[in-house]
Chain A
Amino acid sequence: MRQPEHKESNASLLQVNNLSIRLNSAAGLVHAVEDVSFTLKAGQTLGIVGESGSGKSVMARSLMNLLPRRAVALRKGSVLLSGREISTLSERELQRLRGPEIAMIFQDPMTALNPVLTICVQVSEPLQHHLGMNKQAARARAIELLDAVGIPDAANRIDQYPHQLSGGMRQRVVIAIALTCNPSLLIADEPTTALDVTVQRQILDLLTGLQKQRRMGMLLITHDLGVVASRADFIAVMYAGRFVEVAPANTLFKSMQHPYTEALFNSIPRINDASHTRLQAIPGRPPQLHDPAPGCAFAPRCPYAQQRCHQETPPVGQAEQAGHLHACFYPVSVPVATGGVR
């Protein structure tokens, strides 16, 4: 097992440098991820926010090298997990890495569990496979894990099949499976999108609790700013495969720089708005990711876009505050009042 000192060390757990991914599709090359860089330390949470099709899931999967080989047309940049380059590892080495080092929680607990295997089989298998436990030990440990993720009567629940559990329960089981081998990095890919709102909150609280307790690094991927607002240390806003703004969570909400972040923030309904206030939707459609036009991908929908925005791609630049990066020629810079976010 890994030593706790290793996790406490200040070295970055995950370092992504200039990652670009293009995928083959019927319509042509899809520029799914463009020039993404970030670092994550043990015990930190990076929230990645973006709308559907912005490349969040593709990026998350590429961090574990889970994209089907046939689909990937091009992969540039490096992904270092605890200093080890992921993209050059063999399939065998990757299999050893997945589970004990890096684990993933999927969006839809209805499909993320195998319907024909009992919970016991699904939770204890990684224990037997990666940690070499025998059946009895793995079963006992699986019951502990189910207990830890808040499944009541775990000793009996463990012999049930997924269809006998509710959606929230299933997501707890999925989390338990991800935690079996004590991963140092946990990727949660829209963990609550398929659940209803009351359960969402419980699951998120559970996740952040477990993450603090085990000092895991966590990537929390969502399309909902409210989900990451109070739970992430850093927030990255993703648009058309790029990180358009990255900042510590509290800085981001105090001074948004990128017009897209602002638009996203303004599209959240607020409880203290007068009734019948119209929501500010973002005009236009999300861009097609194959054959992207030159210039900033958000320019066609941006209220502040200038001539230059349509011609050049803005580089990622530093804002005034340390650690606050954005990719915009004309940052908004107007401080937005905080509060009102869930």
Chain B
Amino acid sequence: MPVKKHPKIVSRAQNFARALQQVFGRRFGPGFWLAVVWLLIVAFCALFADWLPVRDPLDPVIANRLNGPFTSNLLGADGLGRDIFARLIHGARVSVVIGLTAVSIGMLIGGALGIIAGYFRGHFERALMAVLDVILAFPWLVLLLALVAFIGQSLFAISVAIGFLWIPAYARVARANTLSVVQREYVLAAKAMGASTSRILIKEVLPNVILPVLAYGLVAMGLVIIVESALAFLGLSVEAPQPTWGGMISEGKRHLATAAHVAVIPSVTMFLTVLSLNFVGDRLRSRFDIKESNL
């Protein structure tokens, strides 16, 4: 049989475009897009904090001390006279970096463990699940404090410590999804065509497990930001004077009676960010769920 020249070499790209259209073309509602815009602003601030035309977040101007919003400073100044707006923008960097790193660590390690446990079952699964249950049963704040005391307070160390906390959750999500994927006939079919175990894991299981795991990521990121601020509130996050949202709330609590804006403004910023993450994560997840059930 002569090999026919296939006329549509671009059809793969077209397919992808069509898929994107199917996912994003349907209405998400204005709330979703507002949340996306907010997240984009936060990400932009985190990325370009050093080049944005804002004041030095570390520069105390005693004259501006505890000034309210729209006075000497756009969003006021804190107890040391530092510009709150600039500190918010630089604090976004910490939240975003810790959010991304911690979630990635949890996703990679937890996801891999979960897939392996769900595919091979047996003793490894039982042992892993027992260890994860122990971690989950442990009070997370105590565990986190111990970890931070042990590995230090650098940005990376904090990310690793929080990421570690997320391993059990991701392992469970990945394992549960793997268990259901392994039951499907296409995995057996791949085995019947002589596929090796690593091939089945990478080509058959992973692409089917990764969507629900990724969808969980945005929601998890919101929680990570809250966990980081809890640490900062206790003074155990990234060391001062590096601004973080949690640290700003913590510093502001002293002035709550006289100058509430010092604590309220970072709180509202964080609230909006976590809310947006949950909102977007939730919408995307439900969209992917619908897509799954349509297949």
Contacts and interface: CB of A to CB of B under 8 A. Distances in A.
B28 interface: no
A125 B195 CA distance: 9
A156 B185 contact: no
A182 to B, nearest CB: 13
B194 interface: yes
A70 B3 CA distance: 45
A66 B193 contact: no
Contacts of A115: 186, 208, 292, 295
Contacts of B292: 115
Contacts of B27: none
Contacts of A66: 188, 191-192
B139 interface: no
Which interface class (under 10, 10 to 19, 20 to 34, 35 or more) fits A?
35 or more
B8 interface: yes
A149 B189 CA distance: 18
B203 A117 contact: yes
A101 B186 CA distance: 19
Of A96, A114, A129, A178, which is in contact with the most chain B CB atoms at under 10 Å from its CB? A114
B78 to A, nearest CB: 50
A113 B186 contact: yes
B194 A100 contact: yes
A156 B11 contact: yes
B188 A106 contact: yes
Interface stretch (A157-165, A222-230, A252-260, A290-298): A157-165
Contacts of B7: 155-156
B1 interface: yes
A117 B191 CA distance: 16
A240 B79 CA distance: 83
Contacts of B12: 118, 159
Residue of B12, B184, B189, B204 ringed by the most chain A CB atoms within 10 A: B189
Interface stretch (A35-43, A47-55, A139-147, A207-215): A139-147
Chain B: interface secondary structure?
Answer: helix
B3 A144 contact: yes
A111 interface: yes
Contacts of B6: 143, 155-156, 158
B294 interface: yes
A262 interface: no
A152 B207 CA distance: 28
B196 interface: yes
Interface in A132-176: 140, 143-144, 147-148, 155-156, 158-163, 174
Given A108-B185, A114-B186, A98 B194 contact: yes
Nearest to A64: B192
Contacts of B195: 95, 125, 129
A98 B190 CA distance: 10
Interface string B198-221: 010001100110010000000000
B15 interface: yes
B26 interface: no
A155 B4 CA distance: 8
Nearest to A156: B8
A115 B185 CA distance: 11
A97 B15 CA distance: 35
Contacts of B4: 143, 147, 155
A112 B186 contact: yes
Interface string A113-135: 11111100100011001100000
B71 to A, nearest CB: 56
B207 A112 contact: no
A46 interface: no
B163 to A, nearest CB: 27
Contacts of A104: 189, 192
Contacts of A125: 193, 195, 203
A95 B207 contact: no
Contacts of A327: none
A220 interface: no
A286 to B, nearest CB: 23
A100 B192 CA distance: 10
A103 interface: yes
A99 interface: yes
A20 B212 CA distance: 41
27 contacts: A95-B196, A98-B191, A99-B194, A100-B194, A104-B189, A106-B188, A106-B192, A111-B184, A111-B185, A112-B189, A114-B186, A114-B204, A114-B207, A115-B208, A121-B203, A125-B195, A125-B203, A129-B194, A129-B195, A130-B194, A147-B1, A155-B8, A156-B11, A158-B6, A161-B295, A162-B295, A178-B193
Interface of B: 1, 3-4, 6-8, 11-12, 15, 121-122, 184-186, 188-196, 199, 203-204, 207-208, 211, 292, 294-295
Interface of A: 64, 66, 70, 94-100, 103-104, 106-108, 111-118, 121, 125-126, 129-130, 140, 143-144, 147-148, 155-156, 158-163, 174, 177-178, 180-181
Given A106-B185, A108-B185, 16 more contacts: A66-B192, A70-B122, A95-B195, A98-B193, A98-B194, A103-B193, A104-B192, A106-B192, A113-B186, A115-B208, A116-B211, A143-B6, A156-B6, A159-B12, A163-B295, A177-B189
